[in-house]
């Protein structure tokens, strides 16, 4: 009878914590404006619908969520789906959904939802009687909640651990865990639902230890706070307390008091819809209390009504108890065949659940109702009882080992985190040092480049000043030459012409032969004057050409210096149609420097035999083409050096375009195009 009581207590605890693990969902009426997901969630939690309908709406909600991104709302909704699978006892889908949300939470290091998933998995493995796995997940959650200082969730997790210890037969360990819960949640009003669970479990523990007075005290404490608004009505806490108190009186053989509490529990509103498992338990307990008090009214109808509900919910432990009770009932009415039938069905069920306490209860019942095989059942009972005692000792040790090994793993992970953190610090320091050195090196290179640019600017200024000086010298010489030519025209040509004109005027009065000879002489003299004018004109043209071609002369000097210094053959061609006097000085300076820089690059790197430089006019543009037959290079791979960068920069200063073609062993060609429009040197209009 004691083993049967233990089984009853296990069932009581199971349904207590199943009710406490259920998540509180809003029961408000949904309006047509709310989205389909909210509707599906609401209908899935509508206890007035059939289990099949609620399952259908839960799956529809899951299908909607599955298309969403992995954000915080996505994970919250997955937990809601898992909660609804839990409420309809669909453990397979519950487990699958919780593992999914755990994976998603771990991807983004979502500690809150990782911990919540641990508690859900603890609930799952507890429902499947895999106590060590359940304990492991609860312990993982406990450590995180303790670290976060979340006493509310820590208390709930410790209650779940205590329940596992109770199931394993470690009553004193369970009692200790419950008092730890009370220590963490004291003076926290929002933890009244956890406080209710703690009082309930203490009542069950003391009932199992035979301390009925203490057990009744804690069950009544739980009943006093069962109406607290913190505890959701859907948990049916008052009905649970009535059931526990009634079962305590049933254990004390006070059947009349037990029936009163069971009946009060069944009177709670919406109990069958919200908690069908608890409703079935109260029915079965009421029927058993009637049976024990020889009140056969409504028997065995109440037993079968409870069994039908438990069958529909697939509650193996409840079905087992129902069939044991039916076996006892039919034995009392001397229907031995039916009694043995239910006892054997109960025993067969234990082979699938593998709950050793249930095995003992079934074997004991079989030995009572089937005396013929009593010895066989008794031997099996003794063997299983010994295994149960060993298993209970082992599971207690296993819980301790799980805690120890988990702590060891956490310590190792902590050491690894410290090592990784140190590596990150070292790596960060090395990167910062590298960046610092790179900045210093880059700054030095930039400073060198600035110095080089300054030197170039200085050189450009010198060239510009030289060209200005040359222009000034030319202008001075031009003025002097004009004065000289004016003097020659005035003093020489004009004087001669005046004298010849006066003499011819005088001879016009004479028509003799002598006068005619003198006229011939003066005509010859006029021819000489004509020759003088022609020579002066030729000198002017030559002087102007020299002025115009001054830039060409400077470039030719550069070419001549190149030919003298280097072995490469230099071929140059400057278009005579280019009107250099119309081109601004800045362009001529840049062109000169580009030619100079290009020759330096060819001399240093190209190893060319022949260099060709062309300056020619094409439509409204000026083309500078510099080519060589040197070793060339791959323009896509090779970085542009400072020299080439300077050439490009000078080309941009001229508003020109730059193009380079080169291949390995095929030479290099640079083409620079400068527009001549709007480049007129308005300061020089001499032609």
562 Rama class: left (phi>0) / alpha (psi -120 to 50) / beta: alpha
Rounded mean pLDDT of 142-163? 82
Q: Could you report the per-residue pLDDT of 311-368, keeping only the tens digit for each?
A: 888 888 888 889 899 999 998 888 989 988 998 888 888 877 767 677 888 788 888 8
Stated as kind and residue range, the H or E segment containing 334 is none
Rounded mean pLDDT of 112-140? 82
Which pLDDT score, from 0 to 100, does residue 280 have?
92
Q: Give the three-class secondary structure for 74.
A: helix
Tokens of 348: 């067969």
Whether pLDDT at 616 is above 60:
yes
Distances (CA, A) of 17 to 113, 124, 200, 372, 518: 21, 12, 10, 41, 152
442-458: buried (b, 16+ CB within 10 Å) or exposed (e) per residue? eeeeeeeeeeeeeeeee
Question: Which of 324, 341, 385, 277 has the alpha carbon at shortest distance from 11?
Answer: 277
User: Do the Cβ atoms of 168 and 399 come closer than 8 Å?
Assistant: yes
* Sequence ranges of the domains in the chain: 1-26+149-282, 31-148, 315-405, 424-548, 553-675
> Which of 152-161, 428-437, 456-465 has the least mean pLDDT?
456-465
Question: Which of 376, 310, 382 has the alpha carbon at shortest distance from 346?
Answer: 310
* Residues making up the chain, counted from first to last: 687
Please give the angle made by the CA atoms of 436, 437 and 442, to the nearest 5 degrees. Answer: 100
CA 552 to centroid of chain Cα atoms: 65
Whether pLDDT at 151 is above 50:
yes
User: Do the Cβ atoms of 149 and 111 come closer than 8 Å?
Assistant: no
Q: What is the 3-state secondary structure (H, E, C) of 506-549?
A: HHCCCCCHHHHHHHHHHHHHHHHHHHHHHHHHHHHHHHHHHHHC
> Which of 24-38, 245-259, 309-323, 416-430 has the least mean pLDDT?
24-38
CATH number of 1-26+149-282: 1.25.40.10
Q: Could you report the per-residue pLDDT of 383-424, keeping only the tens digit for each?
A: 777 665 665 555 555 555 555 555 555 555 555 666 777 778
- The rounded mean pLDDT for the chain is 78
Whether pLDDT at 447 is above 70:
yes
CB atoms within 10 A of CB 181: 26
Rounded mean pLDDT of 191-207? 84
Q: Does 1-26+149-282 match 31-148 in CATH topology?
A: yes
Which pLDDT score, from 0 to 100, does residue 147 have?
82
Q: For 31-148, which CATH class?
A: mainly alpha
Specify the CATH number for 553-675; select among 3.90.1200.10, 3.40.50.720, 3.30.565.10, 3.10.310.30. 3.30.565.10
Which pLDDT score, from 0 to 100, does residue 417 have?
66
Angle between helix 316-332 and helix 276-292 axes, rounded to 10 deg: 20
């Amino acid at each position: 009878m004691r083993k049967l009581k233990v089984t009853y207590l296990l069932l009581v605890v199971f349904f207590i914590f199943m009710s406490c693990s259920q998540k509180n969902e809003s029961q408000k009426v949904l309006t047509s404006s709310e989205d389909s997901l909210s509707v599906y969630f609401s209908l899935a939690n509508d206890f007035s619908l059939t289990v099949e309908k609620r399952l259908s709406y839960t799956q529809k909600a899951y299908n909607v969520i599955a298309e969403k991104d992995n954000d915080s709302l996505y994970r919250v909704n997955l937990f809601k789906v898992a909660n609804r699978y839990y409420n309809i006892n669909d453990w397979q889908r519950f487990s699958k959904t919780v593992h999914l949300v755990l994976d998603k939470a771990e991807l983004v290091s979502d500690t809150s939802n990782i911990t919540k998933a641990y508690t859900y998995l603890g609930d799952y493995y507890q429902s499947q009687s895999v106590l060590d796995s359940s304990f492991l997940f609860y312990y993982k959650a406990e450590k995180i909640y303790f670290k976060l200082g979340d006493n509310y969730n820590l208390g709930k997790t410790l209650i779940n651990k205590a329940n596992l210890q109770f199931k394993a037969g470690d009553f004193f360990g369970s009692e200790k865990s419950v008092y730890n819960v009370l220590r963490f949640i004291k003076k926290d009003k929002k933890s009244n639902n956890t406080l209710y669970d703690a009082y309930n479990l203490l009542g069950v523990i003391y009932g199992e230890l035979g301390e009925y007075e203490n057990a009744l005290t804690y069950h009544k404490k739980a009943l006093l706070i069962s109406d607290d608004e913190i505890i959701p009505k859907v948990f049916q806490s008052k009905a649970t307390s009535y059931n526990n108190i009634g079962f305590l009186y049933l254990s004390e053989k006070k059947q009349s008091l037990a029936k009163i509490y069971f009946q009060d529990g069944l009177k709670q509103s919406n109990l069958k819809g919200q908690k069908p498992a608890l409703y079935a338990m109260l029915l079965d307990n009421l029927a058993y209390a009637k049976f024990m008090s020889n009140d056969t009214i409504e028997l065995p109808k109440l037993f079968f009504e409870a069994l039908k509900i438990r069958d529909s919910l697939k509650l193996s432990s409840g079905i087992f108890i129902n069939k044991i009770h039916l076996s006892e009932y039919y034995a009392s009415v001397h229907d031995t065949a039916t009694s043995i039938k239910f006892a054997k069905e109960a025993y067969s069920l234990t082979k699938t659940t593998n709950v050793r306490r249930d095995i003992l209860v079934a074997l004991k019942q079989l030995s009572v109702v089937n005396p013929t095989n009593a010895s066989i059942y008794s031997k099996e009972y003794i063997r299983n009882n010994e295994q149960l005692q060993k298993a209970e000792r082992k599971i207690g040790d296993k819980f301790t080992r799980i805690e120890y090994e988990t702590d060891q793993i956490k310590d190792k992970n902590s050491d690894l985190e410290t090592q990784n953190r140190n590596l990150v610090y070292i790596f960060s320091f090395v990167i910062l040092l590298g960046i610092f050195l790179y900045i210093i090196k880059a700054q030095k290179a930039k400073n060198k480049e600035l110095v080089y640019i300054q030197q170039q600017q200085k050189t450009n200024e010198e060239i510009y000043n030289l060209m200005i000086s040359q222009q000034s010298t030319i202008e001075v010489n031009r003025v002097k030459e004009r004065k000289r030519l004016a003097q020659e025209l005035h003093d020489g040509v004009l004087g001669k012409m005046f004298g010849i004109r006066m003499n011819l005027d005088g001879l016009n009065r004479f028509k003799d032969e002598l006068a005619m000879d003198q006229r011939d002489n003066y005509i010859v003299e006029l021819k000489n004057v004509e020759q003088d004018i022609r020579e002066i004109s030729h000198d002017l043209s030559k002087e102007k050409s020299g002025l115009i071609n001054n830039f060409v002369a400077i470039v030719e000097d550069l070419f001549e210096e190149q030919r003298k210094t280097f072995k490469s053959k230099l071929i140059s061609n400057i278009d005579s149609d280019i009107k250099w006097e119309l081109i601004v000085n800045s362009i001529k300076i840049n062109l000169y420097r580009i030619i100079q820089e290009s020759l330096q690059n060819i001399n240093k790197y190209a190893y060319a035999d022949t260099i060709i430089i062309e300056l020619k006019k094409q439509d409204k543009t000026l083309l500078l083409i510099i080519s060589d037959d040197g070793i060339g290079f791959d323009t896509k791979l090779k970085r542009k050096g400072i020299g080439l960068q300077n050439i490009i920069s000078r080309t941009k200063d001229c508003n020109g375009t730059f193009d380079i073609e080169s291949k390995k062993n095929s030479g290099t060609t640079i083409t620079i195009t400068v527009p001549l429009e709007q480049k007129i040197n308005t300061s020089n209009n001499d032609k």
